[in-house]
């Protein structure tokens, strides 16, 4: 950085949004991704959000679903009884993120923006939404398709919202090391009398967001799990346009992603 950045630390959400409406600021939440990046890239204006914790650090679970404030930490998610009981996928993914020390700093809002692998996969499989606020508007965007550039300069990520999953749903999370790197799979699956009646699957690598395996979901729905179905379902997973040739031709897919998928489909129904 050639010149020290201007730093502000508003103590209310309203004042933070007013600052963002007046000029562009780089929001700074937990800092696990941004502080090292600031050292290399710099930013003219940094808006520290730590004083917004009274308003934005919360985890609320009820019959309708989950609402987690952007300043809630991943440790808050992992230790919340409500999240563990109703969104175990999210609790498991939070524990898979880096280390305990990181989890105490990394925020829900920050991981939405950086699209960290485990959390991105979980958000996508749960069909969660990102809440963005400005002085004048509140809007929601699907977490699976949210990109950092999707935040307008006048907006702040304020919450993660996820509806309660359908009844009899099994949530599972797995990770595996492949030649292409670590892969995370998040699955929300319901089996009734041995038949898959509902499936939402998302895969992610360490960063760069998650991909919903919509074609695989269609193959699985209405079918009875088994080795042949797993192979067919994996062969249908062509959504990742950035995947390498081996992956797209199926040579990387059978293992270990197949194992993760088989684990997700196992269970009583």
Partner 1 sequence: MRLCLELNGQQAVVEAPPLEPLVDVLHRRLGIASVRHGCRDGACGACHVLLDGAPVPSCVVPAIQADGAQVTTFEGLADDELLAPVFSRLRRSRTPPCDLCLPGLIVGARAFLDPELRLADESALESLAGNPCRCEGLAPFARMLDGVARAAPRARPQASPRRKR
Interface residue list for partner 1 (CB under 8 A)? 4-5, 7, 9, 28, 30-32, 35-36, 38-39, 46, 48, 50, 53, 57, 75, 78-79, 95, 98-102, 104-105
Provide the token pair at 34.
């941004």
What's the closest the beta carbon of residue 172 comes to partner 1, in angstroms? 16
CB closer to partner 1 out of 46 and 204: 46
What's the closest the beta carbon of residue 43 comes to partner 1, in angstroms? 9
Q: Nearest-CA neighbor of 162 among 123, 207, 211?
A: 123
The Cα angle at residue 56 between residues 50 and 60, in degrees rounded to 5: 145
Task: Report whether 87 contacts 125 (CB < 8 A).
Answer: no
CB closer to partner 1 out of 106 and 128: 106
What's the closest the beta carbon of residue 39 comes to partner 1, in angstroms? 7
CB closer to partner 1 out of 38 and 262: 38
CB atoms within 10 A of CB 249: 11
What's the closest the beta carbon of residue 35 comes to partner 1, in angstroms? 4
Residue 31: exposure state from Cβ atoms within 10 A (0-12, 13-18, ≥19): middle
What's the closest the beta carbon of residue 178 comes to partner 1, in angstroms? 21
Q: Nearest-CA neighbor of 130 among 156, 102, 154?
A: 156
CB closer to partner 1 out of 105 and 232: 105
Separation between Cα atoms, residue 234 and residue 220, nearest integer Å: 10
CB closer to partner 1 out of 30 and 165: 30
């Amino acid at each position: 950085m050639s010149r020290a950045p201007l730093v502000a630390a508003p103590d209310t959400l309203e004042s933070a949004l007013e600052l963002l409406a007046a000029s562009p600021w780089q929001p700074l939440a937990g800092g696990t991704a941004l502080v090292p990046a600031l050292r290399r890239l710099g930013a003219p204006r940094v808006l520290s959000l730590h004083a917004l914790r009274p308003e934005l650090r919360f985890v609320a679970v009820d019959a309708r679903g989950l609402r987690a404030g952007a300043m809630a930490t991943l440790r808050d998610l992992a230790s919340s009884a409500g999240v563990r009981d109703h969104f175990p996928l999210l609790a498991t993914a939070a524990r898979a993120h880096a280390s305990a020390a990181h989890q105490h700093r990394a925020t829900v809002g920050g991981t939405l923006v950086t699209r960290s692998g485990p959390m991105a996969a979980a958000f996508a499989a749960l069909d969660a939404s990102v809440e963005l606020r400005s002085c004048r508007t509140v809007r929601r965007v699907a977490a699976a398709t949210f990109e950092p550039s999707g935040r307008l300069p006048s907006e702040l990520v304020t919450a993660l919202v996820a509806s309660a999953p359908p009844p009899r749903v099994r949530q599972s999370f797995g990770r595996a090391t492949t030649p292409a790197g670590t892969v995370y799979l998040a699955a929300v699956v319901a089996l009734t009398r041995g038949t898959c009646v509902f499936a939402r699957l998302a895969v992610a690598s360490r960063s760069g967001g998650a991909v919903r395996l919509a074609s695989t979901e269609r193959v699985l729905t209405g079918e009875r799990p088994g080795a042949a179905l797993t192979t067919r379902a994996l062969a249908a997973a062509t959504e990742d346009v950035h995947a390498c040739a081996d992956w797209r031709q199926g040579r990387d897919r059978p293992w270990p992603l197949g194992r993760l998928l088989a684990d997700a489909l196992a269970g009583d129904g």
